[in-house]
Structure 1
Amino acid sequence: MKSIPSKNNSTSDLSRHTAASARAVKLRELIHVHDYQYYVLNSPTVGDSQYDNFLEELREIERIFPELITNDSPTQRVSGEPLTEFNTYTHSEPMLSLANAFNKEELLKWDKRVKDNSENKKIDYVCEPKIDGLAISLIYNSGIFSQGATRGDGQTGEDITANLRTIRTLPLRIKADTTSEIFEVRGEAYLSKSEFERINQERIKAEEQLYMNARNTAAGSLRQLDPKITASRKLNMFIYQLGYSSETQEFDYHFDALQWLQKKGFPINPLIKKFTKIDEVVDYCEKLEKQRDSLNYDIDGVVIKVNNLQIQKQLGVAGREPRWAIAWKFPAEQAVTKLQKIEVSIGRTGVITPYAKLEPVIVGGAKISMATLHNFDHIQKLDLRAGDDVIIQRAGDVIPQVVAPILANRKLGNVTQFMMPTTCPSCNSTVKKDLDNAAHYCSNSACPAQISRQIEHFASKTAMDIEGFGEERSKELVNLNFLRSLADIYTLKNHYSELIELPGYGEKTLKNLFIGIEESKKQPLEKLLIGLGIRHVGNETARLLVQSFKNLDNLTIATADDIAQIQGIGNVTANSIAHFFSIDRNQHLIKNLLDLGLNTSVNRQIIDGDLNGLIFACTGKFKTWSRSEFENLINSLGGRYSRTITKQLDYLVFGVDGGKKIEQAKALGINIINEDEFINYLAKQKDA
């Protein structure tokens, strides 16, 4: 971890603050990227330990300089975004992440914080093996399993009900205490070691490529569109928490709730234990680490929770993590391999990042052939050279880091020192070093590598969602000079006669590509803002900007002070947004996008309605909106959309062929209105 600039009264305060601000910006960008790769793509690119270092470093910067905390900081919210193969699902309560402890000292510090912030100084703890699987949420209605979802980004996941039904240890029916009872349980789906071995043996016989680890195989199994494939994988699960309940199911202790769930027929891990002393917790963690290889499932640590539920409420949540729970992480797995070559990649902001090309090696159940080296200073600090034997480490299921070279194995005639290029490998422009941090960057804003990355981001599912614009196609179209800016995407059809002659651009491919481009013009304004790649602007910030400014014209002339007035947007984010729109080439881009017909305003009849945080759900088919358009409408007007019926819901809006949600809502006494009544409700809100 880098050293954090201290806050003091010396004359160098300003430079320290500037350095801290720049480093925080970089860390947030890194963490957001790695969250996306880990949670959305299931293709992580850094190891657990490196990711944890990034997060701890950012948290320390924000502790020393609290004015640098931004609304979209990974420390302030649960990370991460859902995939799109399945319908989205909004959790009634966030599925939180956990802070980490890597040794006894860190666990004792957490224990002290818990006791210092609790009215009750006698704390019991519940210890649970940290299963290396996929977090899931299960909904039961009157004793029947009715819906299930993945964790996703903590707020929104994927509805994988059909696939979860195939898990034999999941009870499809339990004895309900009342006919109207609706409750949620949370747990971890996983693939046992023996089942993983069986699947790979079958793949050997079929001469198919082997799966690399059980965790990714389990995640991929639950994301199969065909439940028959999921069923063939024989997944398993453990339940670790009772969520919300429509009835007053009172428990004083977490351990009692687990015992109640076990009696109901839910699989609870038999290794879960309760302790009254923190030293007993440490002993448990150390013993379980020694025992992990003998278990028939993968674990990467221990989850420690405060047992008393009232104390849990008192302690609350800090940003993305509950204060009443922590994960003791086992040491990272390591392996030795050859560092074959050091190369560089260019990001959409021009930052040049060196990475290691490695002789493939298995670490933590995954084949590793590349690892980021972060920056030139990092390479110098480790004294890494191409040709070195190096130690690679990988914690759990996340991507590796190069720990160190094995100097005893180094033969000077067989290794090569790395020198950061002085000119950009893509455009030959001068490479400069950022004075505020260790990053090198290409000085040419028209660099083809930057533009292709910008286009890839703009067209991604997170932003404008243009199918067919992946990394390779973006790079190819830029290199062929068909695309030189984001606006060129929308004039690509003018090059049909040239494109049709190229390999891989048949008539059907081009037709689908052009349809996707044209459809993207209808994307809501918040998606466009994300696509522009403004630093610090994620989903939530984009939504707040649209809610406040209504159209892009208003936003482009807003000052940083204007933007900072919005609750939830800090000064750093406001300055970044105002700076983006002050740049001439960005102003030119916005004008072009407007002329090309993109949606640059809230394109709905009612733009001033304020739903004031009310929670809405829907069922059936609407005349006016699709399901996703209804969700976007609710969010844009300050409300919250839910896919489940809970007692927290304010309104259920139904259309034609409304389903069983209507009966569920009636049982809970929720307001139920039809589509026309909802439109009238919005009109009244507008006139109010």
Structure 2
Amino acid sequence: MTITAELMTQIREITQQLRHHNHCYYVLDNPEISDAEYDQLYQTLKKIEQQYPELISADSPTQRVGGEAISVFSPVNHRIPMLSLGNVFNQAELTDFDRKLKDRLEDNHELEYCAELKLDGLAVSLIYEYGQFKYGATRGDGVTGEDISHNLRTIRNLPLSLNTHQPPAFLEVRGEVLMPKAGFDKLNAEALATGEKVFANPRNAAAGSVRQLDPQIAAKRPLAFYAYAVAHIEGQTLATQQYEVLQWLARLGFTVSDEIRVGQGVGFAQQFFDMIQQRRPQLAYEIDGVVIKVNEIAKQQRLGVVSREPRWAVAYKFPAELASTILEAVDFQVGRTGALTPVARVKPVFVGGVTISNITLHNMDEVRRLDLAIGDTVQVCRAGDVIPKVTQRLQRAEHRQLIALPTHCPICQSAIIQDEKGVIARCSGDFYCEAQVQRRLAHFVSRKAMNIEGLGERWLEQFLELGLINHVADIYSLSKDKLLNTVIEGMGERLADKLLTAIEQSKQTTLPRFIYALGIRGVGESTALALAQHFGDLDAIQQATLDSLMAVPDIGEVSAQWIVAYFAESIHQDRIAQMRLAGVTWPRMEQRAEQPLEGQTWVLTGTLSTMGRDQAKAKLQQLGAKVSGSVSKKTSVVVAGAEAGSKLADAQKLGVVVWNEQQLVELLATHELS
């Protein structure tokens, strides 16, 4: 059928109406038409696009429901690093922050601040070209994030086209994806009704939603995007004040913080903080503090950044919320290395927006330190509004039941053994302990290990119970017939295909990932990388002696003993051989040559003006140095920048060599790393 000018006009008009009503509903919270009227407009556009698929544009309102699932997240390099914020927790620290800014600006006048809400969500970056949304990414490590455009397009209040006739040629907007409280409660209620896993808090729900491979899942989640900054703009001049930038973003169609105020000095900032702390329970979404920013953009640029934080902004965090409750019982969980962790079961108590009933006590030393017993009244908080913690015992129970370490594993009944210092207790059951096996499997498939997307604990638990897998190598023997011919709750053909595809893709890995995935005691990501760089291939690591392992940077005698013991077990050798036979492979790593700073330990302190401390650390590590966070007699060099503190004093007391920043720059230049 012929595409006429009238048809094009009709599509354009309906699209503009839908965008307008989306903005009214999702951004302004002021709908102008009923849901039925909106649905009628939407269906009209959808029918036209079905008839003329060539007319479907990427920013059409119909494209928010989610398209095809992707197989993996692509990396995105940020033009401007995505910085994190420094924190203050009281007025004295806020006053100190203000003083440092005045000193650096050499200005004794009161600074003008823009005060905003610190939204508790997932930081993302959005890229627009000539007013059209192109892609968006997570913060990642601040330098490289993950492309999550397929999910961001489904967020109803995120503009796919900017509301302006003169858009900039390029615009990068920074903001937060979050889940409003009402949407979070509804999502969890639906999950409970269907027997699915509920989310712990809105932030976890938002973060999990935007990292779905299937955008149709994200489209069903009640997500919202709030803009808080412009990172880069081309083709237009940015406003001169932070407050003006936010108002301009609102005119473009972005949702911004409900509360934005401008005022002078610390007194204004403290008043804003106090006011928001009172209003916090009534807000539609979770916040964990306020953000105080220098309002004038020119002053922001003069102040610059330190490490990964802007000097001109700070997060003024709310104090941890406290509550009291009764310690009703203590259970012991078994980790992947067999370590037993005491977990307090407390009378459910509402703290920081979440009902808490389970709290880890870390180890028996912590139980003894707090002098806890069952029946005691304890004080609990959520550290950083995230992790629940027992802070102290408030009242001893009249009839206390002492907490005792079990003599046998609560899962497999194997004997419990303790390390030499008596701090960590472990189950001796090893491969016979179902809890250890399950947690090793969960570690093996995790994102930083073999990264088998979609193979979560829910499936692993079922596969273990049904006998489909007994250890990590069995994952690579799973087949479509096995998955579909076994009665597995929730498993269908499409899901089986997705799981098998993810398993197949995981076979192409790297040596550091594979070593880390094995779950060798004491071998984390950095140690796995060091092993791979030193030996080059797995065969050499498997045959390594205690002495050759101790020659690897950062590996001491105890870690070396654990590595030797792991590879000496025939069962581990057999399972590695099974995985390699199944096609798990990796490229050989280039062995790291002897480095000029090999065996040296360096410490960085104070502010480095020519580079951030993270950058300096990375460059020193490239030269073979270990960069530590504390000074000891074994420290080789302390590099002291501006405003160096206690570490410089420690170095002087211990007689450690102290360098200034210029000496470090000259060293790096000598090795062509600066």
- TM bucket (normalised to shorter chain) is 0.5 to 0.7
Letter in 2 for 1:585: F
Within the candidate set 406, 420, 434, 1:421 is matched to: 406
Matching residue of 2:439: 453
**Contact residue 149 and residue 158 of structure 1 kept, 8 A:** yes
SS of residue in 2 equivalent to 1:381: helix
Within the candidate set 397, 400, 421, 2:388 is matched to: 400
Matching residue of 1:371: 359
**1:99 is the counterpart of 2:82:** no
Q: Kindly indicate whether structure 1 or structure 2 has the higher relative contact order, using CA contacts under 8 Å at least 6 residues apart.
A: 1
Matching residue of 2:159: 170
Instruction: Give the 3 Å change call, closer, same or farther, for CA 182–562 of structure 1 in structure 2.
Output: farther
Letter in 1 for 2:425: H
**Contact residue 389 and residue 406 of structure 1 kept, 8 A:** yes
**Contact residue 421 and residue 431 of structure 1 kept, 8 A:** no
Matching residue of 2:25: none
1:9-20 alignment, distance < 5 Å: none
Instruction: Give the 3 Å change call, closer, same or farther, for CA 468–586 of structure 1 in structure 2.
Output: farther
Within the candidate set 212, 230, 240, 1:242 is matched to: 230
**Contact residue 463 and residue 527 of structure 1 kept, 8 A:** yes
Letter in 2 for 1:102: F
**Contact residue 157 and residue 254 of structure 2 kept, 8 A:** no
Q: CA deviation at 1:420?
A: 1.7
1:107-118 alignment, distance < 5 Å: 107-114=94-101
Instruction: Give the 3 Å change call, closer, same or farther, for CA 559–125 of structure 1 in structure 2.
Output: farther
State the distance in 2 between where 1:477 and 1:255 align.
54
Matching residue of 1:432: 418
Instruction: Give the 3 Å change call, closer, same or farther, for CA 506–385 of structure 1 in structure 2.
Output: same
**Contact residue 344 and residue 358 of structure 2 kept, 8 A:** yes
Comparing 504-513 with 229-238, greater Cα deviation is found at 504-513
Q: CA deviation at 1:173?
A: 1.9
1:529-570 CA deviation, whole Å, 9 max, x = no partner?
3312357866677668767765334566789999999xxxx9
Q: CA deviation at 1:480?
A: 9.7
1:406-426 CA deviation, whole Å, 9 max, x = no partner?
427x341xx421012244434
1:119-518 alignment, distance < 5 Å: 124-151=112-139, 154=142, 155-161=144-150, 163-168=152-157, 170=159, 172-175=161-164, 181-192=169-180, 214-215=202-203, 218-219=206-207, 235-247=223-235, 249=237, 254-269=242-257, 271-307=259-295, 321-394=309-382, 398-407=386-395, 410-412=397-399, 415-425=400-410, 426=412, 428-433=414-419, 435=421, 438-442=423-427, 448=433, 449-466=435-452, 470-471=456-457, 486=472
1:222-256 CA deviation, whole Å, 9 max, x = no partner?
56778777667665443111113355856665445
Instruction: Give the 3 Å change call, closer, same or farther, for CA 438–158 of structure 1 in structure 2.
Output: farther
State the distance in 1 between where 2:274 and 2:363 align.
35
SS of residue in 1 equivalent to 2:554: helix
Q: CA deviation at 1:218?
A: 4.9
State the distance in 2 between where 1:217 and 1:183 align.
28
Comparing 203-212 with 189-198, greater Cα deviation is found at 203-212
Within the candidate set 507, 514, 519, 1:533 is matched to: 519
**How many residue pairs are counted as aligned between the two chains?**
515
SS of residue in 2 equivalent to 1:138: strand
**Contact residue 427 and residue 447 of structure 1 kept, 8 A:** no
Q: CA deviation at 1:102?
A: 2.2
State the distance in 2 between where 1:299 and 1:536 align.
37
1:469-527 CA deviation, whole Å, 9 max, x = no partner?
6546656877999978655666789xx89x98998899989999888766643333343
1:637-684 CA deviation, whole Å, 9 max, x = no partner?
x9xxxxxxxxxxxxxxxxxxxxxxxxxxxxxxxxxxxxxxxxxxxxxx
Instruction: Give the 3 Å change call, closer, same or farther, for CA 289–174 of structure 1 in structure 2.
Output: same
**1:552 is the counterpart of 2:541:** no
Comparing 233-242 with 508-517, greater Cα deviation is found at 508-517
SS of residue in 2 equivalent to 1:380: helix
Pairwise CA RMSD: 5.2
Instruction: Give the 3 Å change call, closer, same or farther, for CA 502–248 of structure 1 in structure 2.
Output: closer
**Contact residue 354 and residue 375 of structure 1 kept, 8 A:** yes
State the distance in 2 between where 1:512 and 1:161 align.
18
State the distance in 1 between where 2:500 and 2:247 align.
57
**Contact residue 356 and residue 370 of structure 1 kept, 8 A:** yes
SS of residue in 2 equivalent to 1:95: coil
1:31-58 CA deviation, whole Å, 9 max, x = no partner?
xxxxxxxxxxxxxxxxxxxxxxxxxxxx
State the distance in 2 between where 1:546 and 1:176 align.
55
Instruction: Give the 3 Å change call, closer, same or farther, for CA 444–124 of structure 1 in structure 2.
Output: farther
State the distance in 1 between where 2:183 and 2:375 align.
39
SS of residue in 2 equivalent to 1:400: strand
1:650-665 alignment, distance < 5 Å: none
Matching residue of 2:576: 593
State the distance in 1 between where 2:195 and 2:569 align.
55
Matching residue of 1:660: none
**Contact residue 189 and residue 237 of structure 1 kept, 8 A:** yes
Matching residue of 1:613: none
Comparing 304-313 with 95-104, greater Cα deviation is found at 304-313
**Contact residue 342 and residue 361 of structure 2 kept, 8 A:** yes
State the distance in 2 between where 1:481 and 1:171 align.
48
Letter in 2 for 1:528: F
Gaps of 5+ in 1: 1-82, 609-637, 639-688
State the distance in 2 between where 1:418 and 1:261 align.
56
Instruction: Give the 3 Å change call, closer, same or farther, for CA 376–581 of structure 1 in structure 2.
Output: closer
1:446-487 CA deviation, whole Å, 9 max, x = no partner?
562434422321133432244786546656877999978655
State the distance in 2 between where 1:324 and 1:136 align.
20
State the distance in 1 between where 2:360 and 2:550 align.
35
SS of residue in 2 equivalent to 1:572: coil
SS of residue in 2 equivalent to 1:269: coil
State the distance in 2 between where 1:381 and 1:562 align.
40
Matching residue of 1:664: none
Matching residue of 1:677: none
Letter in 2 for 1:168: N
Letter in 2 for 1:105: A
State the distance in 1 between where 2:258 and 2:520 align.
48
Q: CA deviation at 1:354?
A: 0.5
State the distance in 1 between where 2:550 and 2:112 align.
43
Q: CA deviation at 1:345?
A: 1.2
Letter in 2 for 1:602: P
Q: CA deviation at 1:138?
A: 1.5
Instruction: Give the 3 Å change call, closer, same or farther, for CA 476–227 of structure 1 in structure 2.
Output: closer
State the distance in 2 between where 1:599 and 1:88 align.
22
**1:90 is the counterpart of 2:76:** yes
SS of residue in 2 equivalent to 1:453: helix
State the distance in 2 between where 1:202 and 1:571 align.
51
SS of residue in 2 equivalent to 1:457: helix
State the structure with more CA Rg: 2
State the distance in 2 between where 1:341 and 1:433 align.
25
State the distance in 1 between where 2:298 and 2:135 align.
28
1:382-404 CA deviation, whole Å, 9 max, x = no partner?
33222344443336762422344
